[in-house]
Amino acid sequence: MSTQRPKDLLRVSGLRKHFGNQEILKGIDLTVNPGDRIAILGASGSGKSTLLRCLNFMETPTQGQIQLSGQVIGSERTLRDGSIQTTYSERELIRVRQRIGMVFQQFNLFPHMTALGNVMEGLRTVKGMSQDAAQTKALEQLARVGLLDKASDYPARLSGGQKQRVAIARALAMEPELLLFDEPTSALDPELVVEVLRVIRKLAEEGRTMLLVTHEIGFAYHFANRVLFIADGVIHESGTPDEVLKNPRQTRTQAFLARHNEFKF
């Protein structure tokens, strides 16, 4: 097959997600190009985390299409009423998740493994690397996040910031093409936020493709080349950081930013 490789890495169209009767995402269209750093903002309950979680299928989309490097994920079937139903095989999703890494708000480190063990786990179990090769690679990743000296510590012995950096190293080790950050600093004490943001900034400087759901608006401004403001399950406003964060056109975006800046001094 000689289909031309499309420029975009991820293309989302008409993405919807229901939880029971509640519609959380109401039709999201989004294109992610290689090297994009996209910050996703929005009030809690707006659907921004759900959007991120649909992209690596932690949640199964109710409707819509997701393409990764031009390939549609899942198999589509047109129903009698003309609507399209997509079914996903676990095997395909496993392959997708190996290409799209995720960092969680609550870290989700494995408490029964050391920091090194956590980073090695995916390399050993999923990629089937040898013990030695996995260890070498895992140590490199821990060095990248500045935690080489904590390699043999269990998560319970680490601070929140250190845990999140191990989680980032764990995701990086898998060499994903796209990294998703779901409020990576929201569970941290304020003084620990910076060390995690520094690591994320460094990754941005390396040209990694990343999506970041965050409440750190100042960081979003410096980090992102594109900002999305989500409200009521749709992309309410999007553009460059200057457009969305300095000169928002929509009143809801303005109100959201005003609330965030209320106690600035």
Partner 1 sequence: MWAYPEALLAGAAGTLRIFVICLVVGLILGLLVGLGRYSKLRLAYIPASIFVEFFRNTPVLVQILWFYFAMPMLMPFEISPLMAASLGISLNSAAFSGEIFRAGIQSLESGQWEGARALGMSQTQAMRRVILPQAIKRMLPALTNRAIEIFKMSTLASAVAYVELLQQGKLIASIHYNPIEAYTCIALLFFIFLYPLVQSTYFLERKLRQSD
Q: Which residues form the interface with partner 1 (CB under 8 A)? A: 56, 58, 90, 94-95, 97-98, 101-102, 104, 106-114, 121-122, 125-126, 154-156, 167, 170-171, 174
Q: How far is the CB of 117 from partner 1 (least distance, A)?
A: 10
Under DSSP, the state recorded for 70 is T
Alpha-carbon gap, residue 166 to 113, rounded angstroms = 12
Alpha-carbon gap, residue 218 to 131, rounded angstroms = 41
> Considering beta carbons, is residue 131 or 254 the nearer one to partner 1?
131
> Considering beta carbons, is residue 208 or 236 the nearer one to partner 1?
208
Alpha-carbon gap, residue 98 to 92, rounded angstroms = 10
Q: How far is the CB of 147 from partner 1 (least distance, A)?
A: 17
Give the number of C-alpha atoms closer than 13 A to the C-alpha of residue 128, restricted to the C-beta side.
Answer: 0
93: enclosing H helix or E strand: helix 90-99
Q: How far is the CB of 113 from partner 1 (least distance, A)?
A: 8
> Considering beta carbons, is residue 153 or 232 the nearer one to partner 1?
153
Q: Are 105 and 184 in contact (CB under 8 A)?
A: yes
Q: How far is the CB of 232 from partner 1 (least distance, A)?
A: 25
Q: Determine what percent of the chain falls in helix, strand and coil, rounding each to the nearest 5.
A: 40, 25, 35
- What DSSP string describes 125-177? IIT---HHHHHHHHHHHHHHTT-GGGTT--GGGS-HHHHHHHHHHHHHHT--S
Q: How far is the CB of 104 from partner 1 (least distance, A)?
A: 7
Q: How far is the CB of 50 from partner 1 (least distance, A)?
A: 13
For 37, the token pair is 């750093």
Closest CA to 48 of 211, 224, 262, 246: 211
Q: Are 104 and 188 in contact (CB under 8 A)?
A: no
Q: How far is the CB of 265 from partner 1 (least distance, A)?
A: 36
> Considering beta carbons, is residue 56 or 253 the nearer one to partner 1?
56
> Considering beta carbons, is residue 46 or 56 the nearer one to partner 1?
56
> Considering beta carbons, is residue 43 or 58 the nearer one to partner 1?
58
AA letter at 245? L
> Considering beta carbons, is residue 94 or 133 the nearer one to partner 1?
94
